[in-house]
């Protein structure tokens, strides 16, 4: 387990044919910022897996290649929030 700065939020940007699980098929969406609960880096891969709670309140390990940084928001306490006016 790697420890991260508290309040780090990520958004999903799923790669086509990317590593499994595919977040958009696992209860996540592209219009939400998800709070990082932790990060895991297995020794057998160069990928890191962020621990996130999906829209169904399930805990998932999502590959770093499927996520992008939203920002550091240490005052927020919720697991996720809706992104408004996101321009990609």
87 found inside a domain:
no
Threshold 0.85, pTM exceeds? yes
Q: What is the token pair recorded at 21?
A: 């699980």
What's the structural domain count of the chain? 1
Q: Which residues form the domain of 51? A: 8-72
User: Are the C-beta atoms of 21 and 62 separated by less than 8 Å?
Assistant: yes
In 3D, which of 34, 59, 63 has the Cα closest to residue 50?
63
Give the pLDDT of the chain (88 residues) as one tens digit per residue. 566 778 999 999 999 989 999 999 999 999 999 999 999 888 788 889 999 999 999 999 999 999 999 999 989 999 999 998 755 4
Residue 22 lies in a domain: yes
- For residue 82, being part of any structural domain is answered with no
Question: Is position 85 within any domain?
Answer: no
């Amino acid at each position: 387990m790697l420890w991260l700065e508290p309040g780090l939020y990520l958004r999903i940007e799923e790669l086509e044919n990317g590593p499994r699980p595919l977040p958009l098929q696992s209860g996540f969406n592209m219009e939400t910022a998800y709070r990082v609960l932790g990060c895991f880096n297995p020794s057998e891969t160069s990928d890191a897996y962020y621990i996130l709670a999906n829209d169904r309140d399930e805990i998932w390990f999502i590959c770093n290649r499927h996520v992008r940084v939203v920002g550091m928001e240490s005052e927020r306490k919720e697991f996720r929030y809706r992104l408004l006016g996101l321009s990609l």
